[in-house]
Amino acid sequence: MEHVHHALQLGQSGLHGFDDIKLIPNCLPGTSTERIVLDTQIGELSLSSPIVINAMTGGARETEEINRELAVAARETGLAMAVGSQMSALKNPEVASSYRVVRETNPHGIVFGNLGSEATVEQAQRAVEMIRADALQIHLNVMQELIMPEGDRDFTGMLERVRGIVEAVGVPVIVKEVGFGMARESAEALLDAGVTILDVGGSGGTNFAAIENARRETPLDWLNDWGANTCISLLEVLEAVQGREAVRGSSPSVIATGGIHRALDIAKALILGASAVGMAGAMLRVQRMEGTEALIAYIASLHHDLRLVMTALGATGLKDLVQVPVILGGETADWCTARSID
Ligand code: FNR
């Protein structure tokens, strides 16, 4: 609940980097809003919307209500939804209902489980069973742990544990950052370990350095800008994925999360090559401040606005969006030059 409280209080910086992407207009789009299809695919999962309600909560009584309300919105709008880290329920089964409520509320929806990379194969299997998860997210959050006084300090063996979970868990595994971003080298290592879905979790949205600093007696504020923004992280991870396609003929999927809250940014992420976007803080804010009906209306407006942008760009489906030409400017262009990303 402290995370929920601080996430709402601190808000989002909006510095996700998508403002560096300029769209080239198309005054002869050749499509109509009625024809626009938002279906997408991440790994082997088919989704009716490219928007995912990303991992947030569970583990306490108050969080059960939040998860239930998010699950109602996911059910009513057809979005996939992740629960927050289930480690607390693995350690204390009494709180498992705060996660199970998501599956109970949305029995036929697409639901993701969530654990940290400290999890064992057996814990991963129990987390999936707990909510009959369609996929399991493994979060990487090194800087968050380091800022937390009670956080982990030993990051050895992460990749080996991820590999073991991918091999044994029986559902797709999504490896995600929580807002510090992912570089090409890390993405390549995860792809080598067999991961087929990566969530770039870049900075520019919910800031877990600032959240953990707000909980510390002696804040390490100089770490609040740590990491790479969502746009740059997406380009980094796509570079790793594209290299992989050429080598193996497989096609890993990429989710862009971090500060996304409007349709234009969703469209830009999809144009660059993301298969879906994750939204956490923005969904939480609307639900907590305005209620579940407002959240359902907000998601409907995102779908409406995304259809509008896609129509203007002449993109009937997500496959057409990746053909839309863009110009890269600002810090993103400099970063891509320095890192030889084309
Ligand atoms: C999170 N996030 C998160 N991620 C995760 O993998 N496991 C978790 O338990 C949590 N917990 C959590 C709590 C709260 C209150 C928030 C707001 C977020 C991170 C989340 O899934 C996402 O990666 C980041 O919040 C960045 O996205 P936004 O918030 O900028 O859209």
- Residue 250: the pLDDT is 63
Q: What is the pLDDT of residue 330?
A: 97
Nearest atom in ligand 1 to the alpha carbon of residue 259 is: 30
29 alpha carbon – ligand 1 mean position (Å) = 36
Question: Residues within the annotated binding site for FMN?
Answer: 55-57, 85, 114, 176, 206, 280-281
The string of pLDDT tens digits covering residues 252-303 is 999 999 999 999 999 999 999 999 999 999 999 999 999 999 999 999 999 9
| Residue 233 alpha carbon to ligand 1 centre in Å | 16
Give 259-284 as a DSSP string. Answer: S--SHHHHHHHHHHT-SEEEESHHHH
Residues 6+ apart with CB under 8 A from 226: 143, 180, 203, 209
Binding residues: 55-57, 85, 114, 144-145, 176, 206, 280-281
Cα separation, 236 vs 221, whole angstroms: 26
Residue 75 identity (one-letter amino acid): R
CA of 249 to the centre of ligand 1 (A): 32
| Cβ(56) – ligand 1 distance below 6 Å | yes
User: Given this model, what pLDDT does residue 224 score?
Assistant: 96
Task: Summarize pLDDT for 14-41 with one digit per residue, the tens.
Answer: 899 999 999 999 999 999 999 999 999 9
- CB-ligand 1 contact for 204 (6 Å cutoff): no
pLDDT in tens, 328-339: 999 999 999 999
Q: Is the ipTM of this complex over 0.90?
A: yes
Q: Which residue has its alpha carbon closest to ligand 1 atom 10?
A: 56
280 in contact with ligand 1, CB cutoff 6 A: yes
Separation of CA 263 and ligand 1 centre (Å): 20
In this prediction, residue 61 carries a pLDDT of 86
Atom of ligand 1 nearest to the CA of 281: 29
Q: Which two tokens stand for residue 283?
A: 């969904």
Q: Which residue's CA is the closest to the ligand 1 atom numbered 21?
A: 55
Q: Would you state the pLDDT for residue 236?
A: 98
DSSP annotation string for 138-175: EEE-HHHHHHSTTS----TTHHHHHHHHHHHSSS-EEE
Q: State the first-to-last Cα distance of the chain, in angstroms, to the nearest integer.
A: 42
Whole-number pLDDT of residue 246 = 66
Whole-number Å distance, alpha carbon 155 to ligand 1 midpoint, is 20
Nearest to residue 256, comparing CAs of 219, 203, 295? Answer: 203
Question: Is residue 50 within 8 Å of 318, Cβ to Cβ?
Answer: yes
Q: What is the pLDDT at residue 342? A: 86
Query: Between helices 230-248 and 263-272, what is the axis angle to 10°?
Result: 30
Tokens 């989710």 -> residue: 255
Task: Name beta bridge partners: 256.
Answer: 277
> Do 213 and 268 contact (CB within 8 A), yes or no?
no
Each residue of 208-255: pLDDT tens digit? 999 999 999 999 999 999 999 999 999 999 999 997 876 665 689 999
Residue 273 Cα, ligand 1 centroid: separation in angstroms? 22
Distance (Å, rounded) from C-alpha 124 to C-alpha 138? 9
The residue whose C-alpha atom lies closest to atom 6 belonging to ligand 1 is: 139
